[in-house]
Amino acid sequence: IASSDPKDPVEYIDVSETFLKRIEHIDALKSKLDESATKLGEIIKPLLKKGEVLPEDHKKYRFVKSIANAPPNVTLSFEKAYKLGSWMVKYGKGELPLEVEQEAIKWWKGNSLTYREQHNLREKAYLERKDQYRNIASQLIKKKQPIGIENINLSVFAETKDKDNELGNVARLNRFLVAPSELLNAIKNAGQREGVPVIEVPAKNTSKTCSECGVINEELGAESNWTCPSCNAEHDRDHNASINIARRAEEKL
């Protein structure tokens, strides 16, 4: 977070160590569930493909068909494995081929506690993040100064890997983890509630433009720190971009 005046102190938003450790633990649980659900799918998908196992008017018909008709390269998700196992245990006995029933129940008994643990931890972690972002937004709005933000669809930018997205897998996962779009929405909502202007500006060249002299460094790649080829000013990439965003917002306002 930076001001349009580069002399003002910059503030960095850190993700807490507790949050990161919790996410790492959730990821470990998820990997375990993914692996076991994949194995379950390899067993039950051929059995479900042997014929129509449920009448079309059955409330679980579409769900079971989605498992049976999944392409060979699509593994069974642990969410579907849990849903199938829960149904078998509670209501579905005798509804599907016996081997499918037995394997689904065995999976549920062996993994349901892990599933609920990762689900509850995930909800807790994301609620913690949401609360942190609301507090940050509240502190910003209390300054009663216009706020500039980039106009960019961060949720798509974080999750989609295509020829137009140069972010690597780790960078995309990290950006998805900290959810900048959630922070920006918290700021927008607080600004609207308190009557503080939140101005969106184009993202183009916010990082590449030197905030000291205005020259665009066309050769800048993914470097975190860079030196302006024109005036030799030393820049932290994000701090420099934040100043440019603030200035563009002032101009737009």
- Tens digit of each residue's pLDDT (9 = 90 or more) over 205-253: 999 999 999 999 998 888 889 999 999 999 999 999 999 999 999 999 9
Measured on CA atoms in the order 53, 55, 57, 59, is the torsion positive or negative? Answer: negative
pLDDT exceeds cutoff 70 at 187: yes
* Residue 187 DSSP SS3: helix
- Distance, in Å, from the CA atom of 209 to the CA atom of 54, rounded to the nearest integer, reads 62
pLDDT tens digits along 114-165:
999 999 998 988 898 899 999 999 999 999 999 999 987 665 555 444 445 5
Whether residue 201 contacts residue 250, with contact meaning beta carbons closer than 8 Å, is answered with no
Contact of 2 with 239, CB cutoff 8 Å: yes
Q: Phi and psi for 151 in degrees, rounded to 5?
A: -90, 90
Residue 95: count other Cβ atoms within 10 Å of its Cβ.
15
Cβ neighbors of 120 (< 8 A, separation 6 or more) are none
Neighbouring C-alpha atoms within 13 Å toward the C-beta of 235? 33
**Strand, coil or helix: 208:** coil
**Secondary structure element (H or E) that encloses residue 63, with its range:** helix 61-68
Apex CA 147: angle with CA 144 and CA 153, to 5°? 145
Cα dihedral 51, 55, 60, 62 in deg (nearest 10): 70
Burial class for 253, CB neighbours closer than 10 Å (0-12, 13-18, 19+): exposed
Nearest Cα to 118, choosing from 158, 155, 77? 77
**pLDDT tens-digit readout, 58-89:** 999 999 999 999 998 899 999 999 999 999 99
Backbone angles phi, psi at 97, to 5 degrees: -50, 145
pLDDT grade for 29, boundaries at 50, 70 and 90 = very high
- pTM listed for this prediction: 0.69
